[in-house]
Amino acid sequence: MSNFVQSLTVGEAHVTVINIAYADWNFPAGLDTAASPWWPPYAAQFEQPVWSHHNVVHIALADASILVDAGFDDLPDSPYQLPRFRRNVDLSAALREVGVAPEDITHVVITHPHDDHIGGLTVKQGTSYTPRFPQARVLLSRWDWEGNPDREDPTEVCAWTLNVVDRAGRLNLVDGSQEVAPGVTILPAPGETPGHQIVRVQSEGQTAYVLGDLFHHPVMVEQPWVNRGRDVEQVLASRQRLAEAALAEDALLVAYHIGTLGKLRPTATGFTWEPVRPIESLTLLNQEGEVMV
């Protein structure tokens, strides 16, 4: 198994985190940090480039084979690539490492339709695109689809991904909470986009959350109003709701762009992201999150 594919168990669920790519993210520039009173204690950790992960998650539980987000599996010269984008592993190849073929996937949950989360939904065959996961229902929030201007713009990534899935009859719109399969539930967590959603995995008393872009970096756990100009009130409410639930459940957390698995811990002023394991290492964890091998 490659270093970028990490499997763990959550009760009876097998959860695989695939870090398909890194990109250099100019974090301070996106946060208007210059005059912010919260910024000085954090400045030193951003003097070096922040490597943004692209963590695609596969969940196998009973008959369900669920992917959360589809990565950005585009050609390296795409105009949509972030600076210094480096692909670690092709998504289909990574899934094969854990015995999953594209046609085995039953559901793809899209946390939100930004390019880096939807680019891998299709594959190019000749001059056209076809769904990469031909049997999968693709689950996207209704609030991120209806009225989304990207649907009408042929230059947007949506044109060759979500629109293709929609024309194939595989797109299913989600209204609020929805059970994907027994033990796997979509929960609304708006803010990053109007319909941003996360996934909860619960099995045999264990809980994990796949958070999409609820937090882009651990600093946002400690400073939860920080979020690149999105809807701050929605972001705060969504983060608070997740934090309370995750603490109560001692849940394991996977965020799309964060380089560690984490758990939340309370602090005097709020919460902090406690790293459990770095994602890029080849590690097998038991149900307590401890290293098995």
Q: Note whether 73 binds Zn ion by CB under 5 A.
A: no
Mark the segment that binds Zn ion (CB under 5 A) among 4-12, 59-67, 91-99, 210-218: 210-218
Burial 149-179 (b: 16+ CB within 10 A, else e): ebeeeeebbbebbbbbbbeeebbbbbeeebe
Selected binder of Zn ion within 213, 226, 264, 283 (CB under 5 A): 213
Contact string (CB under 5 A) for Zn ion, positions 165-204, x = contact: ----------------------------------------
What residues numbered 259-288 form the site for Zn ion, per CB under 5 A?
A: none
The token pair at 99 is 């015995």
Closest CA to 172 of 57, 66, 41: 66
Shortest reach from residue 72's CB to Zn ion, in Å: 9
Mark the segment that binds Zn ion (CB under 5 A) among 7-15, 68-76, 112-120, 179-187: 112-120
The token pair at 273 is 């992201």
Q: Note whether 116 binds Zn ion by CB under 5 A.
A: yes
- Give the count of residues interacting with Zn ion (CB under 5 A): 2
Task: Report the residue number, 144 or 213, with the smaller CB distance to Zn ion.
Answer: 213
Can you tell me whether residue 256 is helix, strand or coil? Answer: coil
Q: How far apart are CA 268 and CA 191, in angstroms?
A: 25
Mark the segment that binds Zn ion (CB under 5 A) among 16-24, 59-67, 116-124, 163-171: 116-124
Q: How far apart are CA 226 and CA 124, in angstroms?
A: 37
User: What sign has the CA pseudo-torsion 181, 284, 280, 226?
Assistant: positive
Shortest reach from residue 250's CB to Zn ion, in Å: 26
Mark the segment that binds Zn ion (CB under 5 A) among 11-19, 122-130, 209-217, 239-247: 209-217
Q: How far apart are CA 267 and CA 261, in angstroms?
A: 19
Shortest reach from residue 148's CB to Zn ion, in Å: 16
Q: At residue 133, what is the residue type?
A: F
Task: Report the residue number, 213 or 280, with the smaller CB distance to Zn ion.
Answer: 213
Q: How far apart are CA 111 and CA 116, in angstroms?
A: 11
What residues numbered 138-167 form the site for Zn ion, per CB under 5 A?
A: none
**Which residues make up the interface to Zn ion (CB under 5 A)?**
116, 213
